[in-house]
Amino acid sequence: MIHLRIIIVGCGKIGTAIISSLVAEGHDVVAIDNDPAVVQDVGNIYDVISVCGNGTDCEALSEAGVEKAELFVSVAGSDETNMLSCFLAQNMGAKHTIARIRNPEYNDQSLAFIRQHLGLTALINPDWLAAQELFNILKLPAAVNVESFSGGNLEMVELKLKSDSAFDGVSLSDMRRKFNSKFLVCAVQRDGTVYIPDGNFVLQSGDRIGLTAPPAELIKLLKNMGFLSRKARSVLILGASRIAYYLSKRLLAGGNNVTIIDINEQRCREFAAQFPDATVIKGDGAQQELLIEEGIERVDAFLALTGIDEENILISIFAASKNVPKVIPKVNRDELYSMAENLGLDSIVSPKRIVSDIISRYARALQNSLGSSVETLYKLMDGRVEAVEFKVTSDFKGVKTTLKDLRLKPGVLIAGIIRGRKAMLPTGEDMILSGDRVVVIVSGKKLFDLSDILA
């Protein structure tokens, strides 16, 4: 497998998450940051080449070997720095460039113009992506997580079976017979171990399960399973952050009732001006009396989106104690992410994890396109499972072979085939054809090409 030379500018939370992910996949990573202490720490912790300098300094870029870089990613604090850094890198020889953009003032039209005229491969906005993930979960509040493939033609949801679950002791084959829906249980996490199950697998209370199905079938299935609670119509958001801005815009456009609490008066004024249909409260969300006064016991969902992970976790635990149906904190630090899960907070949003997955997808797409190309990549079940969507070309050795005759590696499951706009949950009689999109679930290994699934 070809290992790429990848340069990362900016070693903050998101930058280090990207570096960690790419190093784990065996790439040659060079990190650039203008803080000497940060550069030293990153070089020691991740065993990467680190350069102290500015991402817009041609000398620093040259020292990092930009002319040999297959992928250049700039996630420094300033949007303008990131765009300029990528523009310089592209003109100095970097093959592909990705810039992080966070300012809501850059709308879709201006971003498309910027990307085209600066010659950038992609622009990514972690806050918009996190808001999109939150919006998807709020549509299906019973889900821990919701991911889409092939433009929404196939969806995967993660569900947590409660302690008194009706599915305790039920095998997957019995579950398929009970519900007249097209679905596939493609992964189960139990006590920290992940299983890629077959029909004989027996569910237990407390399991975290991953289900794939076309969207219409998924709604029907969740309703029949008793998981489908109504969409979250009233939402209380703590923290007038960028994520809150993008999410509020989506929720209000859909007719939701939105209340936003923030301690910063200027932010409250800005949000009140931007969203006249929302209720904006200046106050300290850590004060339980304020949350109760603003109706936390009556809302459908509570989202803690401040910049402090610890505060988000603690206040979310309070919201859960008030029986709020859906509680979601934003948590970026890995050690606190695990702690939040252990404290019973099932749904958690992490912008840095979202961006890290996207950069990993780009890297894999560049590594190998023999027989397929990586279209989508999600890390599920606390990162223990990967769901990878490939676009199939005629070079794939398994084309026109029935799935029952394909010899797959252990821990691999073909979870969906999308042909045109039709999503299929495959049986042993189905075939993969050139032009299809194929969703593969894998545990314990990484897939760089569709051919990697073959034994």
Any idea where the domains of the chain sit in the sequence? 5-124, 140-225, 234-324, 364-453
pLDDT at residue 370, as a whole number: 46
Q: For residue 84, what is the enclosing H or E element?
A: helix 79-91
State whether residue 75 is helix, strand or coil. coil
As given in the structure block, the two tokens for residue 337 are 């992410």
- Give the pLDDT confidence of 64-113 residue by residue, as tens digits: 999 999 999 999 999 999 999 999 999 999 999 999 998 877 767 777 78
Stretch among 6-10, 27-31, 126-130, 168-172 having the lowest mean pLDDT: 168-172
Q: Which residues of 353-373 are buried (b: 16+ CB within 10 A; e: fewer)?
A: bbbbbbbbbbbbbbbbbebbb
Question: 234-324: which CATH architecture?
Answer: 3-Layer(aba) Sandwich (3.40)
pLDDT at residue 152, as a whole number: 78
Share of the chain above pLDDT 90, in %: 49
Strand partners, 154: 149
More confident residue, 386 or 228: 386
Q: Return the CATH superfamily for domain 140-225.
A: Regulator of K+ conductance, C-terminal domain (3.30.70.1450)
Fold of 364-453: Alpha-Beta Plaits (3.30.70)
- Give the pLDDT confidence of 217-258 residue by residue, as tens digits: 888 888 877 776 667 889 999 999 999 999 999 999 999 999
Cα 193 from Cα 189, distance rounded (Å): 6
Of the ranges 275-279, 341-345, 404-408, 442-446, the best mean pLDDT one: 275-279
pLDDT at residue 107, as a whole number: 67
Give the type of residue at 7.
I
pLDDT at residue 383, as a whole number: 79
Domain 364-453 in the same topology as domain 140-225:
yes
**Cβ–Cβ under 8 Å, residues 212 and 415:** yes
CATH number attached to the domain at 5-124: 3.40.50.720
pLDDT(11) > 90: yes
pLDDT(395) > 90: no
**Cβ–Cβ under 8 Å, residues 33 and 372:** no
pTM: 0.86
pLDDT(2) > 70: no
Share of the chain above pLDDT 70, in %: 97
As given in the structure block, the two tokens for residue 214 are 């076309």
CA distances from 202 to 205, 224, 308, 443, 455 (A): 10, 19, 40, 19, 27
As given in the structure block, the two tokens for residue 174 are 């019995």
